[in-house]
Structure 1
Amino acid sequence: MSAARRRWVLALLGAAFFMTILDGTSLLTALPSIENDLRLGGPAIQWTVTAYALAFSGPLLLSGRAADLLGRRRMFLTGMALRLLASLLCGLAPSAGILVAGRALQGVSAAIIAPAALSMVMNTFAEGAERNRALAVWGGLGGVGATAGLLLGGVITETLGWPWVFWINLPVGLTVLCAAPAVLRESRAPVRGRPFDVAGAVTVTLAMALLVYAVAEPPGPIRTTVPLAAGLAMAAVFVLVERRSAAPLVPFRALRSRVLIGGNLVVLTAGMTVDGMLVTLTAYAQQVLGWSATRFGLVAAVMTVSAVAGGLASQRPATRLGVRRVAATGTVLLAVACALLTRMSHGGSAVLVLTALPVFGAGMGAAAVCGQIAALTGVAERDSGLAAGLADTSFAVGTALGVAVCGSVAIAAGPGAAFAAAGLFACAGLAAALSLLTRHPEPPPERRGEFNCSGSRRA
């Protein structure tokens, strides 16, 4: 594939990824208008967020494996078509029930799109410097999309109305759907007659949805304990099913790779740190500093710029020196920024926020990009969808855990303690990077056997 075509592939897939990130954050600024127009109460409006989180996190592993077996481009186009339908439904929703159903469909579509798109990026760019640059751009698009959503969501809601927060997806999605058949090539695992692991797919989807629900909902003796116990039980059933399956959804031999485990742990802890810090800082800025959502979005843009710069700058030393040192540096920067934020007094300090956010953004970019590079290193093309789904699942679970833990700590002990908890998550990421990631760069594919998820190498 020519370099020009590879750039078109990255641009097209990046546009779809940017759209899903933008859609998630722009909704947050539209929630008050939706609540007023549809006359929703607190729990009902919260379910517009929770339904998306459950529907997104549950099927990620299944969707990644389905992309490998059924075709990555086919799954990507299916997800995009479902995304358009769900966005149209959300904008037209006359009631809370229909809006929540539309948000759930949006979550399912994102779960289909994310691993299929990331696996196509993996297979388009050769492992090493070329793929690392592409993943740095990918991470930068996520950061820009998150901040742009906070800024544009308020503007769109005030000028066009909250339905357009969803309908803005339609022209972008239609463009991607029309261009994809010409730009993207179909690929799938070269396996014929392999049975699909239905039992594994059902149990892992239920386990993930139950576990995310347990941490996403406000804590309570029954509301938390029952879904948590059910999720852990379903996870245990999944392990038993996979060990006895002739064609497991997740071959456990793949987990023997220290780099894969370390990369996913860095991604998990980065998600916990980032969303745990942001949920605390958002409440602090609005309730203590008295900032509007638009002003906070503008301030958050400082963090986004440094995150993009950190991600782009980290890929070159990660290629030359290995991801271990760069990922460790990123997690240290995250911890330092959280430590700075713990020093804020009850009266607030805008200067301290503006000092900490660029440091946090640089660490976020470096840690997230290097964690993703490690999580996708050494994976054969036939298992790229599964690896992408595992990385996306790690981040999704991390964000849910970060919000749940830091939100609860902030209520119980104040924002300073919540920022400290986010810093501890970053320290856990540092431990994972130092203990599991390699000190030196992986040898290029032409000088080593191809690693696949059976844990073997092929000469």
Structure 2
Amino acid sequence: EADEDVMTPVSCPVRWLNATVPRRVVLAGLVVFAAASLLCSVAPSATVLITGRAVQGVGAALLTPGCLALIAGMYQQEGERARAVGLWAGVSGVGFAAGPALGGVLVAATGWRSIFLLNLPVIAAACWLIVRHVPAPAGKPERFDLPGQALAAGGLAALVAGLVETASRGLTLPVVAAMVGGAVMLAGFWAVERSRERHGRSVMLAPSLVAGAPMRAGLLVAAVFNFGLYGMLIVFSIVLQQQRHYTAFQAGLAFLPLTVIAATTSGLLAGRLTARHGPRLALTAGMGLAAAGCLVLVFFGPHTGYLLAAAGFVVFGAGTGLSVPALTSLVLASAPPEQASRASGVLNAARQLGGVLGVALLGLIIAAHPSRLPLALGLAGMTFALAGAVAARWSKPTVSAAPSDDSPPGLETNRDRPRPETITDGRYPASAAHRVMTRAAVLPTIRGTERKPIQREGTYR
């Protein structure tokens, strides 16, 4: 999955999300994902398959921020948006839970090509639901920031590729050169964006968007969260298959307690808790539970029963289920309503980059020596504890709280903003299908609770 891992965080044109409209972006992502899935299903060689997987990453990069931008536009009130994001995350968890089992059954019965063909009817249904239930907005596209997009994509591609290759090649000269080159291009990207914004030109990512402490905290927590989540998943996948000799299908089923609890917590509790008390409580509690889950899993060894792992997965899943909606709400609430598209794109990039770091580092620790499981899980637990501390310090305590005198610079609440005039993943064989299913299925599902939209000409909320 390294090819899709490389493309997903680098290919999301954040400015395009804001310059076009989220509805078109999501539809474009679905079409790209469908075409890439068809290419993978008929791939005659590994090269073609890898190419198809990379193109899938491009489509996936459009789907997550695009869907979050749709939710942010349809639900401007923080409480409503938090509940919608919680339901979205819960449906995603259902897809994540179904992916390993369904993928294993398809591979065993009809071969690996079927897992890509499965995406096609799901994508067709998703496109129909979006066209049917999401209104077509009016608006004029803005100018595209080509220098910023090129530097961001090139820098992230080089950095992520170097991190992914570290596990197999080590810190060789080409790997180090790729990571250093990526870092240099990202520094150039930031300098270019600052200059363009200062001169009033179109920018892919406005530096002022991430100037506030809550936004920076949210992005840091997002990256650290996915570092621990993806790292823990890859670590346990390796241990279960190398130490316990599980098949890929059995290893996928072993994670069911985690995914089921995470989906249930996100859909039924996290959104409501965030809407009622703001993101701070849900985030700190979620990160604490995730760290506690890692602590339980540290004691899992070659001769330990599966029940211990299941208990750890339950605690860990409850923590991640609480965290995702609160984290998303924190980042979206820290951006002005008109920049929700950009905020969702940056959030997705931060999470994906953190996930690649976790897979590369924790996978490297455990790949050659599965006995290092306590070290890898201890590091994952520490990252969750750090994320919880950051969330407790910088996230807003309540949805409508006004900033106090000692609030960090840049803290902003809904009271300070003009009132809007409208209120309107996968490490397993079938992960591609669940991504597509969950991106669109939640939109018509939650539509029944929204208020009737009021639109102005040239405005989409």
Q: TM-score category by the smaller chain?
A: 0.7 to 0.9
User: Which of residues 268, 280, 298 in structure 1 aligns to 2:235?
Assistant: 280
Asked if 1:167 is matched to 2:117, the reply is: yes
Per-residue Cα deviation, 1:238-286 (whole angstroms, up to 9, x for no partner): 0111111122211111112222222222221111111111111111112
Residue 447 of structure 1: how far off its partner (Å): 4.1
Measured in 2, the distance between the counterparts of 1:166 and 1:178 equals: 20
Question: Are the counterparts in 1 of residues 84 and 271 from structure 2 also a CA contact under 8 Å?
Answer: no
* 1:43-192 paired onto structure 2 within 5 Å: 49-60=1-12, 62=13, 64-187=14-137
Contact residue 76 and residue 337 of structure 2 kept, 8 A = no
What SS class does the counterpart of residue 248 from structure 1 fall into? coil
Contact residue 380 and residue 451 of structure 1 kept, 8 A: no
Q: Say if 2:417 is the partner of 1:449.
A: yes
1:305 CA displacement:
1.7
Q: How much does 1:92 deviate?
A: 0.5
**Correspondence 1:379 to 2:335:** yes
Letter in 1 for 2:59: S
The residue aligned with 1:290 is 245
Distance 1:232 1:258 in 2: 23
Asked whether the 8 Å contact 1:261–1:436 carries over to 2, the reply is: no
Give the CA deviation at 1:177. Answer: 2.4
Give the match's secondary structure for 1:376.
helix
> Which secondary structure does the structure 1 equivalent of 2:255 belong to?
helix
Deviation, 1:344, is: 2.4
Match of residue 390 from structure 2:
432
Residue identity matched to 1:429: A
Structure 2: distance between partners of 1:396 and 1:446: 28
Q: What is the CA-CA distance between 1:186 and the residue it aligns to?
A: 3.1
Q: Give the Cα separation in 2 of the matches to 1:432 and 1:228.
A: 27
Once residues 191 and 256 of structure 1 are traced to their aligned partners in structure 2, the CA distance between those partners, rounded to angstroms, is 27
Instruction: Select the structure with the greater relative contact order (CA < 8 A; seq sep ≥ 6).
Output: 2
Cα drift, residue 446 of structure 1: 7.2
Question: In structure 1, what is the Cα distance between the partners aligned to 2:128 and 2:263?
Answer: 29
Cα distance in 2, alignment partners of residues 323 and 270 from structure 1 = 15
The Cα offsets for residues 45-99 of structure 1, whole Å up to 9 and x where unpaired, read as xxxx222112211122x1x321211222222222211111111110001111111
Counterpart position of 2:260 = 305
Whichever residue aligns with residue 394 of structure 1, its letter is A
CA deviations on 1:4-34 (whole Å, 9 max, x unpaired) are xxxxxxxxxxxxxxxxxxxxxxxxxxxxxxx
Residues 312-334 of structure 1, C-alpha deviation per residue, up to 9 Å, x if partnerless? 31222222222112201111111
Q: Does 1:244 align with 2:195?
A: yes
- Counterpart amino acid of residue 190 in structure 2: V
Q: Specify which structure has the higher proportion of helix.
A: 1
| Residues 1:404 and 2:365 aligned together | no
- 1:36 aligns to what? none
Q: Equivalent of 1:262, from 199, 212, 217?
A: 217
- Residue type at the aligned position of 2:417: G
Q: 2:271 & 2:288 partners in 1: Cα distance?
A: 17
Q: Secondary structure at the match of 1:440?
A: coil
Q: Name the CA distance, whole Å, in 1 between partners of 2:83 and 2:41.
A: 36
Tell me by how many angstroms 1:182 deviates.
2.7
- Using the TM superposition, give the Cα deviation of residue 421 of structure 1 relative to its aligned residue in structure 2, in angstroms: 1.1
Q: Which residue of 2 aligns with 1:37?
A: none
Q: What is the CA distance between 1:191 and its match in structure 2? A: 6.6
Structure 1 residue 117 displacement after superposition: 1.6
Contact map agreement 2:274 2:326 (CA 8 A) in 1: yes
Aligned position for 2:407: none
Percent same amino acid among aligned pairs?
27
Deviations 1:425-453 (A, max 9, x none): 1122112102211223235987442499x
Which sections of structure 2, spanning at least 5 residues, go unmatched? 403-412, 421-461
Distance 1:179 1:362, change over 3 A: closer
Partners in 2 of 1:330 and 1:223 — Cα distance? 39
Distance 1:272 1:154 in 2: 26
Question: Contact 1:338/1:422 (CA < 8 Å) preserved in 2?
Answer: yes
Q: 2 CA distance for matches of 1:142 and 1:285?
A: 24
**How far does residue 296 in structure 1 lie from its aligned partner after superposition?**
2.7
Instruction: Report if the CA contact (8 A) 2:37-2:119 is conserved.
Output: yes
When normalised by structure 2's length, the TM-score is 0.82
Q: Which residue of 1 aligns with 2:182?
A: 231
Any idea what SS the aligned residue of 2:333 has? coil
Equivalences, count = 400
Q: CA offsets, 1:274-313, max 9 Å, x none?
A: 1111111111112222333333322311111211232231
Question: What is the CA-CA distance between 1:167 and the residue it aligns to?
Answer: 0.4
Match for 1:337 among 293, 298, 304? 293
For 2:338, give the aligned amino acid: R
The answer (yes or no) to whether the contact 2:282–2:323 under 8 Å persists in 1 is yes
Contact 2:75 2:81 in 1 (8 A): yes
In the other structure, the counterpart of 2:152 is 204
Quote the Cα distance in structure 2 between the aligned partners of 1:310 and 1:421. Answer: 25
